[in-house]
Structure 1
Amino acid sequence: MDQGKEVRPRRVDHWRATVEEQANSGLSVREFCASRGFALSQFYYWRRCLTATEQLRHGADPEAGTLSAFVEVDWGRWARARGMPPLEIRLDLGGGCTLTLRRG
């Protein structure tokens, strides 16, 4: 779902039930939306959001081709090709503790 927008749990529950109802209805998405007065874009938006949320919540199965919660980014090769310094991320954890991650 869009970052920065607060979504009320009731609305999420409503759309979760609506998406499930369509899946069990035997109707196409177009027919289902027409019978309920929903815009196709609205239905597809919520179905996509709910699917992504569920995949992230339950982890990923790369063998099954589902969405992974972690994505490998080969920043080092890209940065070296452009003459950029290696990637370094520093996190100040407080209490004098710093975590430094270097790649490249």
Structure 2
Amino acid sequence: MTRATATNNKWRRRSRQEWETVFARFAASGLGIEPFCAREGLSESSFRRWRSLLGEPSTQPAAPAMEATGFVEAGTLKLGGTGRLELRLDLGDGVILHLSRG
């Protein structure tokens, strides 16, 4: 008998905790989604939906912790005679920060 049971031809509902247990079994199984769902008697669409709702566990190693650094003295800017200052920072992904004084 499969882990999913049918009552009057309707699949029983699983709690969030039960789905988390299913995903733990899936991760340990080494199977793809289709064979795992067939073995467990699960609907692939329900499996995929719940996996997207609960979030897929990361398969990438965690980034190493950044070493704490102290304050770095950057000095002061000599403005010359204009008193005007412009700073433009390209933050990536099309975002540009533009600061001006004067």
More helix per residue = 1
Q: Which structure has greater strand proportion?
A: 2
Which TM-score band applies after superposition, normalised by the shorter structure?
0.3 to 0.5
Name the larger-Rg structure: 2
Give me the TM-score of the superposition, normalised by structure 2: 0.40
